[in-house]
Amino acid sequence: MSQMNRRRALKLLAALGTTGLVAACGSDEDPGDASLGDGRPIKIGLVAPTSGGFKAIGDEIANGFQLFLELQDRRLGGHPVELLTADEGASGATGKAAVESLLKQGVLALTGVANPAVMFDIRDTVEQARVPLIGSNASPTSLQSVVYIWRTSYVLDEVGRALGQHMRRQLKPSEQVAIIMPETPASQDVLRGFRVEFGETDRRIKDAVVWTDNPANPSKSTFVADIRRAINRTPKPTAIFCHYDGTTAVEFIRQLRNEGYRGKVYAPGFLTEGRVLESFAESPATALGIQTALNYSADLSNTANRVFASAYRKKHNTTPTTYAMASYDAAQVLDQAIRLAGENPTSQQLNLALGKIGQIDSPRGTWQFNQPRTPQQKWYLREVQLDGQVLSNVLINELATLG
């Protein structure tokens, strides 16, 4: 067995509920065991928020990384792992302090980071320390020319591009699109990608964007007024393109329906990802039919996703999100790169190895790093539907390969 020891194989089979296949995993003397070796212990630093608006994403980041470690007997590349964690906080300053505290403890690599503002503020610290960071969420388009920062998530303009292509083809020439978003750098990235693919001069999106309050502390009265202004303009929109996540996404969807809008809603997948759908358990019609684009869907049919999703549901009793998946992949990337870097890898050797790992067999489908150190990957269209009595993001089709 190449690059998979017998214990890990049995764990993977157990996660899938598979029995009777022990023989396929080889004996205790399987050479795959020896190939892993007993490397020296290594430290990995995980940066994620434990409170505030990004806490839910932080929890998913931690869950995904921990799950991969558990399936690997808490080893990466054959080395026992001590996972050190630090609270990212809610600002660039707190995120930078978290990174600095982990660097002082001698970590081989860093991972995590939920907030784009944190990613910007830790950039120089990471680059100067020459310690690789495998970011698993924060994804600003403008983060360029980095050597030690890699991302297993996405780049935010890509989700806008994927939806722009789809909506340009699906909407009739007579339809009008209202665009409504919080005025943040992330939304600017999404909108830029959307306009590139939909068409800057397309008459269906000619009206100005309605920008809403910063989602960290929205004023409800202003928020409602902005939504009302977007959906009641002349001519009235038949479709909405928006970008919200977390608790603000819940509030946006509720207010949109309260104002009487029943047309099409399109958004990056964060609008309905994770705990958002759980908020509509008592009123599922509120969210039904919303279409989103994302780099992952929990119902993707491939072996890697069946292992991941099954194990995640078993451990956390909930459906995995793109945040958990990207963090799981960050651990997988580290596993492969550490193995390539040799018996006693340095951070610099590990960074070089990251550029050599090739394709990743991921729950999202196979992907690989491109030159800017972000994934070249598929994007999927999903629709909120009822799966029995539970709201779910159901995979509709593949939209594009970008990156």
Q: Would you state the pLDDT for residue 165?
A: 96
Q: What is the pLDDT of residue 38?
A: 67
In order of 51, 122, 252, 274, the CA distances from 245 in angstroms are 16, 23, 9, 9
CA-to-CA distance for 81 and 315, rounded, in angstroms?
A: 20
Q: What is the pLDDT of residue 149?
A: 98
Q: What pTM does this model have?
A: 0.89
pLDDT tier for residue 217 given thresholds of 50, 70 and 90? low
Residue among 314, 297, 296 at smallest CA distance from 367 = 296
Per-residue pLDDT of 112-146, as tens digits, reads 999 999 999 999 999 999 999 999 999 889 898 99
Higher pLDDT, residue 344 or 28: 344
Other Cβ atoms within 10 Å of 220 Cβ, number = 10
CA 100, CA 139: separation in Å to the nearest integer?
21
Question: What does CATH list as the number for 157-294+381-402?
Answer: 3.40.50.2300
Topology alike, domains 37-154+299-369 and 157-294+381-402: yes
- Provide mean pLDDT across the span 293-307: 97
Domain 37-154+299-369: which CATH number of 1.10.10.60, 3.40.50.10310, 3.40.50.300, 3.40.50.2300: 3.40.50.2300
Q: pLDDT tens for residues 31-50?
A: 333 344 468 999 999 999 99
Residue 308 has pLDDT above 60, yes or no: yes
Domain parsing of the chain, residue ranges: 37-154+299-369, 157-294+381-402
pLDDT at residue 387 greater than cutoff 80: yes
Proportion of the chain above pLDDT 90, given as a percent: 79
**Are 340 and 353 within 8 A, CB to CB?**
yes
pLDDT tens-digit map of 72-101: 999 999 999 999 999 999 999 999 999 999
User: CA distances (Å), 141 to each of 24, 158, 340, 372, 403, in order?
Assistant: 44, 9, 29, 10, 11
Instruction: Fill in the amino acid letter for 292.
Output: T
30 falls in which pLDDT band (50, 70, 90)?
very low
Q: State the pLDDT at residue 216.
A: 53
pLDDT of 25 strictly over 80 = no
On average, the pLDDT of the chain sits at 90
Q: Which residues contact 208 (CB under 8 A, 6 or more apart)?
A: none
Confidence (pLDDT) at 52: 87
Question: Could you tell me if 362 and 332 are in contact, meaning their C-beta atoms sit under 8 angstroms apart?
Answer: yes
